């Protein structure tokens, strides 16, 4: 009996291919190579031996490329623990203090502390007096202050520079985009801002946030997913919910292949992704204006030179903003240069805090 007519081989092939597609790219390539070779042996058609050689070439090329990357001399040991909110997704555990140690060549390089308040946000010591003037930061890890102590973050420096004229709040966290903040606004997770009447909302834009709001980043599965329905922006669960979970698994799997990414970059964004991202920013402004008596929006634009001409670029340019590219900041203090980290430094945050102070007043 030819192997192509063997029901067991067919069932095994289908199950293994599905496993490979969703969970292990390298198993997929390896099995496809074996399958094509066995079909060639059964049917004596050279097309299958050619295809098997093609698959094994992919397999070997990816393995070789992966082994060429040396291990980083930096090692980070962190205690940060997470929880998942039913609406806005993952966040650091509330009312906790986490320590983090960064080692360089097995020697302690830096120690960080992360204090999380009872709202799940990075703690800032605000005035105990009722102050209705507030500054609210939101965004990703650069706003949160990854690899920095509590007293080295941008929101902390802004708070320190304003002499208690404003209470300052840090809604940022690692891997976030603007979609977590929108979900908090829509679902009323803003108890921390109950005394705020006049608010300045500050968001640090990086181009990668577009991919995050589209679910095209490996770490964003427990994040709010926004879609258009009847031309209206709505939240539709998380990226980890079915059926979108299947797409997330596929992307995560094929992201491992350098060869596959030459053919198609799974992290690339399209026009629809940009429309959803821009709609999220606009919706934040719309809802915030209803939530607060007076609201002002400031955008810190990290990489404006990479934004293509279009609605998003027009929106950011027309908004009140600070463009990092215009400040001529020394590249040596812009990021910490730690491989796999590269977050902003305390020196960079001090510069931006001074720019914000000038803009606010």
Higher pLDDT, 336 or 257: 336
* pLDDT band at 45; cut points 50, 70, 90: confident
pLDDT of residue 338: 86
Percentage of the chain surpassing pLDDT 90?
61
pLDDT of residue 186: 98
Higher pLDDT, 97 or 51: 97
Of these ranges, 8-12, 253-257, 270-274, the one predicted with the greatest mean pLDDT is 270-274
pLDDT of residue 51: 76
Question: What are the residues facing 122 on neighbouring strands?
Answer: 116, 170
Nearest to 315 by CA among 325, 324, 326, 304: 304
Higher pLDDT, 314 or 163: 314
pLDDT of residue 6: 64
**CATH 3.40.50.1110-classified regions of the chain:** 82-90+120-360
Higher pLDDT, 261 or 93: 93
Higher pLDDT, 243 or 54: 243
> For the chain, what is the largest distance between any 2 Cα atoms, rounded to a whole number of angstroms?
85
* pLDDT band at 236; cut points 50, 70, 90: very high
Provide CB contacts within 8 A for 173, sequence distance 6+: 91, 92, 121, 122, 140, 141, 144, 180
What does the pLDDT look like over 132-189, one tens digit per residue?
999 999 999 999 999 999 999 999 999 999 877 899 999 999 999 999 999 999 999 9
pLDDT of residue 297: 98
| pLDDT greater than 90 at residue 15 | no
The CATH class of 82-90+120-360 is alpha beta
SS3 assignment, position 177? coil
């Amino acid at each position: 009996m030819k192997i192509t007519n063997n029901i067991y081989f067919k069932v095994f092939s289908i199950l293994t291919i599905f496993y490979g597609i969703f969970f292990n790219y390298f198993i997929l390539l390896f099995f496809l190579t074996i399958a094509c070779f066995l079909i060639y042996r059964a049917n004596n058609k050279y097309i299958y031996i050619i295809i098997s050689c093609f698959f094994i070439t992919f397999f070997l090329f990816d393995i070789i490329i992966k082994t060429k990357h040396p291990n980083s001399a930096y090692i980070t040991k962190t205690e940060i623990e997470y929880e998942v909110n039913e609406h806005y997704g993952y966040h650091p555990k509330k009312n906790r203090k986490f320590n983090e140690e960064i080692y360089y060549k097995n020697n302690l390089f830096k120690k960080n502390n992360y204090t999380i308040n009872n709202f799940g946000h990075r703690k800032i010591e605000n005035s105990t007096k009722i102050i209705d003037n507030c500054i609210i930061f939101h965004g990703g890890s650069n706003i949160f202050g990854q690899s920095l102590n509590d007293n080295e973050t941008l929101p902390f420096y802004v708070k320190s520079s304003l002499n208690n004229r404003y209470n300052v709040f840090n809604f940022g966290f690692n891997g976030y985009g603007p979609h977590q903040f929108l979900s908090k606004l829509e679902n009323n997770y803003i108890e921390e801002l109950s005394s705020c009447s006049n608010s300045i909302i500050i968001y640090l834009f990086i181009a990668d946030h577009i991919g995050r709001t589209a679910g095209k980043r490996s770490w964003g599965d427990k994040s709010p997913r926004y879609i258009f329905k009847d031309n209206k922006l709505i939240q539709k669960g998380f990226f980890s919910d079915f059926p979108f979970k299947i797409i997330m698994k596929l992307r995560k799997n094929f992201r491992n292949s350098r060869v596959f990414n030459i053919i198609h970059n799974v992290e690339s964004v399209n026009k629809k992704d940009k429309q959803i991202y821009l709609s999220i920013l606009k919706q934040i402004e719309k809802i915030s204006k209803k939530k607060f008596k007076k609201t002002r929006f400031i955008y810190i634009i990290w990489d404006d030179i990479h934004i293509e001409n279009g609605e998003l670029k027009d929106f950011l340019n027309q908004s009140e903003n600070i463009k990092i590219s215009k400040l001529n900041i020394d590249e040596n203090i812009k990021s910490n240069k730690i491989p796999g980290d590269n977050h902003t430094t305390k020196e960079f945050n001090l510069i931006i805090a001074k720019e914000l102070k000038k803009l606010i007043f």
